[in-house]
Structure 1
Amino acid sequence: MTSFRRRLLPISLAALLAGGVFAGATLAPAFAASPPGETAGSATGSYLAGRYAQHQDDWTAAARFTAQALAADPDDQALLRRTFLLRLGEGRVDDAIGYAGRLLGEQGEPQMALTLLAADALAKGRLDEADGYAARLPADGLGRFITPLTRAWLATSRGKTDEALAALEPLAAVQGFGALYNLHAALILDLAGRSEDAAARYVKVTDTEAPLRVVQIVGNFMMRTGKKDEARKLYETFQANNPDGLLVEPALDAMAKAPSDARPVPDARSGLAEALFDLGSALHHENADEPALLFGRIALHLRDDLALAHLLIGDIAASRGHHEEALTAYRRLAKDPLLGWTARMREADSLARMERNDDAVAVLKALSAERPERTDAVTRLGDIYRYAKRYDEAISAYTTALDRIGAPQERHWPLLYARAMSYEKTKQWPLAEADLQTALKLRPDEASLLNFLGYSWIDRGEHLDKARAMVERAVELRPRDGYIVDSLGWALYKLGDFEGAVTKLERAVELKPGDPTINDHLGDAYWRAGRRNEARFQWTRALRNADEDTDKSAIQAKLDEGLADRKAAAK
């Protein structure tokens, strides 16, 4: 089994997960279509079918076939462990709890099973049982993070604040986990009514750029403790750092009302849910989605109204291409006052990736109409039209977004860039050129802009010296971008430096070996440099790799007749 190590987490969390039973588990459409009652012909068949489903990224089918194999061999601990993790991953938590209980006593009792059982016991008010499971959690591996958080919140459930803080203390010693330690210490102190101590801890998690959930929790604390001005400053700072977001608007709206006594984390059960969500979110941001999903599922078992955990589940499903599952998670949040807009935007993205463009367009049009001052929905609408080659509609959407902006700022350069691409596709070059020049004033060292405008001028035979300088600068900024290196090679070709063009275009082909336009350009350069056989080889490659945007007849004509003799290669 391969490790499901991703890339190194700041505190090497991914390394601690390497080699788990979920390792290498990718799950799949092939078996998903099987009738629910279908069974494999043998335990071996079910096992192999489950493994295949894993590698095809179908969690549901993998779990079903693995469970069938386990039913035939109930003492197989590896199958039991795998079935437990698959059932938990697909959200069948009650089934997973049953399997988790059977795993106890296995050598090196699995941490995830103990975590689920402790969480379930807490949810059901069986505190002695929960403490028993928590006592068996290890202090190494993932236990460095899970164990202090679990024991701290179990102590909190009994009102033992100092004991809870002592249990949490080992987390403070883990490099990179100071913020998580201080956040949960503050939450525990806050629940105990020790507001001054809690405030001191909350300050430590907001002295740097804080994420949304921290802003929401700390802002709520400030409102409840009469620090309305500080709360406003915290929200407005977050809004300034996230100018296109709606995430704190509900909190800002609440400023005009009497402060609420409602807490984002009202009890120990919610506190443990928060802790597990925090771990899952950190793992998801580091692309370790399998364990992130498991933590998210346990968090929701503790607290099904934890909106950010539902968003996490949707994002993990979408990142794995499971867009139907993602849609279920996103639509659950459609009316959420904090995350509704974000969830509906992501719903549109999943619909577009499923090639349900009309449905995605409907969602985005509704969002755009609801908030006519915003630009994100109408911009994404333009993107969908552009990807579908509906360029006139894309231009209309982008123009609406730019009209709403008024005077564009630096962060709006991609919008001008996107509209310029659409103008260029509809043969409205003067308008495309104007957008690119405006964007370059906002972002003068953006390689994509330099390349697009420079390449276009070169291809049109305009401003060749200036265009060459622009493309050379783009190559300096992104030397491993094959398309940009191709632009420089084509500039040299247009300027008559065929040997220099060959050198650059050969490099571009190394970087993007299958691109028909780059192969075609290199063929032209080889021909002008007197390397006729190599030219025909590149033209043949270009024709073989041609896409719908490639002029196949022009390439075939060059293969048949070569390039006409002339001093320069202007076209």
Structure 2
Amino acid sequence: MGTKDAGRTAAGGPPLTRVLLTAALVALTAGCGSENGGNAAVPAPPPNIVQPVSERSAAGAYLAGRHAADIGDTAAAADYFAGALAGDPENVELLQGAFALMAAEGRMAEASDLARRLLQYDANAVLAAVVVAIQDAKAGDFAAASRRLEALPERGLGSFLGPLLTAWAKAGQGDIDGAMATVAPLAGNAHFAALHDFHAALINDLADRRDAAEHFYRKTGAGSGAALRYVQAAAAFFERTGRPDEARRLFANYDEDHPDGSLLDGAAVAGGAKAVPSAAAGMAEALFGAATSVRQSNALDAALIFARLALELRPDMPLARILVADILQSRGRLAEANRTYSAIAEGSVGYWAAQLRIAANLDELGDEEGAARLLEKLAAERPQQIDALVALGEILRTGKRYAEAVAAYDRAIARLATVEKRHWVLFYSRGISLERSGQWARAESDLRKALELEPDQPHVLNYLGYSWVEQGAHLDEAKRMIERAVELRPNDGYIVDSLGWVLYRRGDFAEAVRVLERAVELRPEDPTVNDHLGDALWRVGRYDEARFQWQRALSLDPEPELVGGIRGKIVSGLEEKTAAGPAK
């Protein structure tokens, strides 16, 4: 990886490191823990072989489940924990773990059975109660669901999820006034006011109370920053009640706030159908809202479970499906994420975004050609849109197929009716590809265009400045640009390296050493940064340290074209006019 372009990092998140998922999730599975959740205890492995065979088998399954969870394979972990529980059926901690893992995997029939068992040990286990209540609602028994939900403790997620689910359970029994009374306290809490307004609108809409529904829809869909689901529901209401212009205005406002429009795709084609056609669908909305809320707090395990519960009640909920797939993708479960994205029907909200993510995941999985074929198909389907071609260009560029990337970016830019400020990144990306494919005149023009659109963009300042340094051109201007980039990104090792390198090329070796030492602190794993520091150290007479840096650079898998030069410097040092090769 070079110092001009950090490239693209693979989608991925930290692996699961606890058997019972996160502490927040454990707090949901066990109602009798400390108030802040804490870390639930896990059963100790067996001390020796004197235990009965069934216990040794349970312990082995438990340890295998721990390992599977630690490496992010929750599907296998769920099976192992179920096996461990079968060998030790009275172990509550194993029961909690198996239940949480089954719920996270969307295996709700098994999760429901485990939840009922868990509630026998702990009547206040919040998540277990919610899962059972959802199964009651799915079966149409809203009275049973309501009784169970009303008993939830009013803390944590129960403080807003409990009232919302209970309200919908009452709506399912025809008690609309009771439903509205249940959600009313949320209106007085600034954190929950928007949720209150949204669900109040949906409940009234379901009951055909149009005036009340309109009042709350206007609150949820109005102004900038409204959530897509709020906008979609309000727009469907206005379209259904003969006001399509108001529906279009809501979508236009959302589009202005979100110019990429990838999730909005399909939202305006709802035909005015009710956003929530049943009480069960309303419960799904509440669960999806909880999922998005905890997702924003990075509680991915809980978010995954709530999104899967939403899909249990309403399988045709594309935004919940996207959330599930997004979490799977963040954990490196790309094939599973793609299967989830593929279940989103064409024409649904988020279909286009899902297809783009499928292509990105195919590329990460090593199927670059499959990704390219899908993106070409998408680009042909929508000849006015650029995002599929931009994604194609990114895949080709990161695959070092620079000339092909230029062609993809050319096609994308040709589709622009108007060049806007946000398009700086398109010219920047094409500029990189042009420079890498030896078309410097066009590359320089694109990089200047990117700076014209976004004058203080640090990566563009760095790339153009560094390119000039490599060529020995415009060194004073390059130095000013890179210094500005460092001001904007003082902890970006690649940009700091560029400043050190321009100092080196200008002959200020002592200052170059100081700056490049800082760059190596920030990017110790980068071979080019280490190579640059070696050159600067040599120039100030610190020969042993220089050879150490070159040896380190060689150990860090540098680009093939740099290897020979680095080895030569280790043997012979630097000639009077020799400098390190360009960093790509």
- 1:91 equivalent among 88, 92, 106: 106
Equivalent pair of 1:461/1:570 in contact (CA under 8 Å)? no
Deviation of the 1:550 alpha carbon: 5.1
Judged with a 3 Å threshold, the aligned counterparts in structure 2 of structure 1 residues 154 and 340 are, in CA distance, closer, same or farther, namely same
Residues 1:347 and 2:354 aligned together: no
Equivalents in 2 of 1:525, 1:501: separation in Å? 6
Deviation of the 1:374 alpha carbon: 0.8
478-487 or 335-344, larger mean C-alpha shift: 335-344
- 1:121 equivalent among 129, 132, 136: 136
Equivalent pair of 2:517/2:533 in contact (CA under 8 Å)? yes
Judged with a 3 Å threshold, the aligned counterparts in structure 2 of structure 1 residues 21 and 5 are, in CA distance, closer, same or farther, namely closer
Residue deviations 1:154-199, cap 9 Å, x none? Answer: 1111222222122113333444222111111111122222222222
Deviation of the 1:272 alpha carbon: 0.5
2:287 matched residue in structure 1: 276
2:245 matched residue in structure 1: 229
Residues 1:185 and 2:196 aligned together: no
| Structural mapping, 1:162-311, within 5 Å | 162-205=177-220, 206-248=222-264, 250=266, 252=268, 260=272, 262-311=273-322
| Structural mapping, 1:98-109, within 5 Å | 98-107=113-122, 109=124
2:341 matched residue in structure 1: 330
- 2:96 equivalent among 72, 78, 81: 81
Judged with a 3 Å threshold, the aligned counterparts in structure 2 of structure 1 residues 17 and 448 are, in CA distance, closer, same or farther, namely farther
1:112 matched residue in structure 2: 127
Equivalent pair of 1:451/1:484 in contact (CA under 8 Å)? yes
Equivalent pair of 1:40/1:65 in contact (CA under 8 Å)? no
Q: Which runs of 5+ in 1 are unaligned?
A: 7-14, 24-38
Deviation of the 1:348 alpha carbon: 0.8
Equivalents in 2 of 1:40, 1:377: separation in Å? 55
Deviation of the 1:512 alpha carbon: 0.6
Equivalents in 2 of 1:108, 1:82: separation in Å? 17
2:451 matched residue in structure 1: 440
Equivalent pair of 1:5/1:288 in contact (CA under 8 Å)? no
- 1:392 equivalent among 392, 403, 406: 403
| Structural mapping, 1:398-409, within 5 Å | 398-409=409-420
Which amino acid in the other structure matches residue 352 of structure 1? D
- 1:482 equivalent among 480, 493, 499: 493
Judged with a 3 Å threshold, the aligned counterparts in structure 2 of structure 1 residues 276 and 92 are, in CA distance, closer, same or farther, namely same
Residue deviations 1:244-292, cap 9 Å, x none? Answer: 32544545567xxxx64x2110121110001101111222233221101
Equivalents in 1 of 2:469, 2:41: separation in Å? 52
Higher relative contact order structure (alpha carbons within 8 Å, sequence separation ≥ 6): 2
- 1:374 equivalent among 381, 385, 401: 385
Which amino acid in the other structure matches residue 535 of structure 1? A
43-52 or 241-250, larger mean C-alpha shift: 241-250
Deviation of the 1:369 alpha carbon: 0.8
Equivalent pair of 2:319/2:349 in contact (CA under 8 Å)? no
Judged with a 3 Å threshold, the aligned counterparts in structure 2 of structure 1 residues 346 and 229 are, in CA distance, closer, same or farther, namely same
Tell me how many residue pairs correspond in the alignment. 543
Equivalents in 2 of 1:249, 1:83: separation in Å? 38
Residue deviations 1:382-440, cap 9 Å, x none? Answer: 11111111111111111110111154221111111111111121122112111101111
TM-score when normalising by structure 1: 0.90
Residues 1:545 and 2:556 aligned together: yes
Aligned to 2:121, the other structure's residue is in SS state coil
Equivalents in 2 of 1:253, 1:488: separation in Å? 52
1:512 matched residue in structure 2: 523
- 1:71 equivalent among 63, 86, 92: 86
Deviation of the 1:100 alpha carbon: 0.9
Equivalents in 1 of 2:41, 2:333: separation in Å? 18
Equivalents in 2 of 1:80, 1:97: separation in Å? 12
- 2:460 equivalent among 438, 449, 466: 449
1:36 matched residue in structure 2: none
2:483 matched residue in structure 1: 472
Equivalents in 1 of 2:463, 2:437: separation in Å? 16
Equivalents in 1 of 2:293, 2:249: separation in Å? 26
Which amino acid in the other structure matches residue 323 of structure 1? L
- How large is the RMSD of aligned CA atoms in angstroms? 2.4
Which amino acid in the other structure matches residue 402 of structure 1? I
Aligned to 1:42, the other structure's residue is in SS state helix
Residue deviations 1:76-126, cap 9 Å, x none? Answer: 111111111111111111111111111113235311111111111112122
Equivalents in 2 of 1:16, 1:365: separation in Å? 53
Which amino acid in the other structure matches residue 527 of structure 1? W
Aligned to 2:507, the other structure's residue is in SS state coil
Equivalent pair of 1:364/1:381 in contact (CA under 8 Å)? yes
Equivalents in 2 of 1:464, 1:425: separation in Å? 20
Equivalent pair of 1:345/1:364 in contact (CA under 8 Å)? yes
Identity %: 45
Equivalent pair of 1:334/1:343 in contact (CA under 8 Å)? no
Judged with a 3 Å threshold, the aligned counterparts in structure 2 of structure 1 residues 16 and 240 are, in CA distance, closer, same or farther, namely farther
2:15 matched residue in structure 1: none
TM-score when normalising by structure 2: 0.88
1:356 matched residue in structure 2: 367
